[in-house]
Amino acid sequence: MRLRIAFVMVAALAAGFAVCADDNKDKKPHKCPLESIMCPFHGDCEGECRKLCDKGGEALVAMHVKVAAAVKAETKKDANAHVAGTCRAAGCKECASLNEKVFGPALKARISKRMGEMNKEVKHTVKDAAGKEHEVECTFLTGKLCDACVDEMSKTCLDTMAKTAENK
């Protein structure tokens, strides 16, 4: 009887290890979205830093989308993959240049500003569809992605791109 119980326990333990091993296979390593822009841990971020990097990554994607849409509206052509954030080439020099000169500085400035205001209630004045102004709470680092922050950062990126184009 004891032998059966021992056998059942060993089988249950082995099954548990197998399930745990399968769970670990499904988990992909974390890819920091701000690794090349401002991650202080070179992509190996954890805890609060990882949350901040992930939040910044959401904002970066949203900025690419807004900037690409603005470029398309202005030029009547789709923005290139580097501006739209859809380039998947490893080590792309144009993406790195855009991150260094356009998207990165806007994102760094916003994160730095909001980090300094973490204990304050920050509000944005925005216009609704009817053109009436009202205040909304900034949720850039504390909740869902803040549309007002993304709009402001995207405008900064578009201004920077326009200045860069004028200087060429």
pLDDT for 67 equals: 94
pLDDT for 1 equals: 52
pLDDT for 27 equals: 56
74-104 pLDDT tens trace: 988 888 999 998 988 888 899 889 989 999 9
Tokens at residue 160, please?
A: 């920077």
CB 128 within 8 A of CB 113: no
CB 124 within 8 A of CB 149: yes
pTM value is: 0.74
Q: Which positions of the chain have pLDDT values less than 50?
A: 3, 5-25
Radius of gyration of the chain (CA): 23
55 by DSSP, 3-state: which?
Answer: helix
